[in-house]
Each structure stands twice: as C-alpha cells, then as structure tokens.
C-alpha cells in the first residue's frame, strides 16, 4: 500500500520540498528570485522600448513620402 505524503509544495527556484504556506526555501533562493525578477523586468522594458523605436521608424518612413 502506498505511503501518504504530507501536504507540501516545491521551491520555485531549486525544487526542494517546502511547507504549503511558503514559496521559497531559503534566503539564497529569495535573492536568486529577486535577481530573476529584476532581469525579467529589464527585458520587458527593453522589449517595449524596441517596439516603440520600430513603430517610430515606420511612422517617420511613412511621413517622409
């Protein structure tokens, strides 16, 4: 017969088992998560900036004719 496993979840960074009420297992994982969020936010800003530049270039090209 299968053993019952206590309610748990896994750390979003390293995958270790942790209690359901927690998201991350250690201070190191919290720092890595914060770093990941900063990088992701920077990439989103760069993406929106590049879209804006491309649209601006299209608008300038259309107005040139």
- Which residues constitute the domain of residue 51? 9-64
Domain assignment present for 1: no
Compute the average pLDDT of residues 40-47. Answer: 98
Instruction: Please count the structural domains in the chain.
Output: 1
| Beta-carbon count within 10 A of 26 CB | 13
Compute the average pLDDT of residues 6-25. Answer: 92
| Residue 24 pLDDT exceeds 70 | yes
**What's residue 2's pLDDT?**
67
C-alpha 25: how far from chain center: 18
**What's residue 64's pLDDT?**
77
Prediction pTM value = 0.71
| Residue 11 pLDDT exceeds 90 | yes
Domain assignment present for 46: yes
Both tokens of residue 12?
Answer: 């979003």
Domain assignment present for 38: yes
% residues pLDDT > 70 (the chain): 97
């Amino acid at each position: 017969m299968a053993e019952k496993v206590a309610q748990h979840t896994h750390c979003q960074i390293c995958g270790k088992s942790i209690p359901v009420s927690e998201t991350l297992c250690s201070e190191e994982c919290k720092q890595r998560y914060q770093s990941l969020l900063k990088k992701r936010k920077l990439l989103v800003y760069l993406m929106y900036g590049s879209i804006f530049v491309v649209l601006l270039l299209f608008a300038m090209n259309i107005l040139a004719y």
